[in-house]
Amino acid sequence: MHPAPDTAPSTPCGIALGSNLGDRLDNFQRGLHEVLARIPGAVLLAAAPVYETAPVGCPPGSQSFYNSVVELACPLAPHALHRVLQAVEALLGRPGERERNAPRPLDLDILYAGGLRLNDEVLTIPHPRLHTRRFVLQPLAGIRPGLVLPGQSHTVRQLLDALEDDPGSVTPVAHDWA
């Protein structure tokens, strides 16, 4: 059996960005620059506004998070993309070994990769909690409100509107950051 290739035809991939250490907006800008520089042929299709959210489940005194979403046309297969994202996180100072919910300069998660559904020991695509998280759905609705994620029957906008948490828990802070 042959290993899965690292490249594939370009697929629209949603990537969530989170940061709660240091200059959070600069972390996003540097991180996006590094991701695009490390993936030949990748194209930024859209960048959502940046939102600020309170830290949940983090150590006391943790700074609030900045959250956003970008969509790339990406020629990498999901596992290869995941390796790139981890390398960029490490470059910006995220340790490989860390406690759960520890503050971090940059967190990059694959939200979706076209219509792919994947669940193995390394990746789950679409992201398993995406449909329940306002801090992800709010920015995603800014760029792809009509997107129906694999395994869902409602659009991103409908999923966002159905959440029962406080809509004021996310506050816009930047629009044209990318």
pTM, rounded to two decimals:
0.91
Range of the domain at 143: 7-174
Q: In this structure, is residue 1 part of a structural domain? A: no
* Contact of 31 with 156, CB cutoff 8 Å: no
23-44: average pLDDT: 96
User: How many domains is the chain partitioned into structurally?
Assistant: 1
- Return the pLDDT at 3: 44
Q: In this structure, is residue 14 part of a structural domain? A: yes
- Is 101's pLDDT higher than 80? no
Share of the chain above pLDDT 90, in %: 75
Q: In this structure, is residue 2 part of a structural domain? A: no
140-161: average pLDDT: 96
- Is 98's pLDDT higher than 90? no
| CA 171/CA 138 separation, integer angstroms | 10
1-27: average pLDDT: 80
**Residue 150's CATH number:** 3.30.70.560
Q: In this structure, is residue 78 part of a structural domain? A: yes
Q: In this structure, is residue 21 part of a structural domain? A: yes
* Contact of 139 with 50, CB cutoff 8 Å: yes
β-pair type (65-76, 43-47): antiparallel
Q: In this structure, is residue 165 part of a structural domain? A: yes
Low-confidence winner among 71-80, 100-109, 147-156 (lowest mean pLDDT):
100-109
| Nearest of 7, 159, 173 to residue 77 by alpha carbon | 7
| CA 35/CA 42 separation, integer angstroms | 9
- Return the pLDDT at 2: 41
Q: Cα dist. 55→100, 103, 104, 134, 156 in Å? A: 13, 9, 11, 13, 23
- Return the pLDDT at 59: 83
119-128: average pLDDT: 93
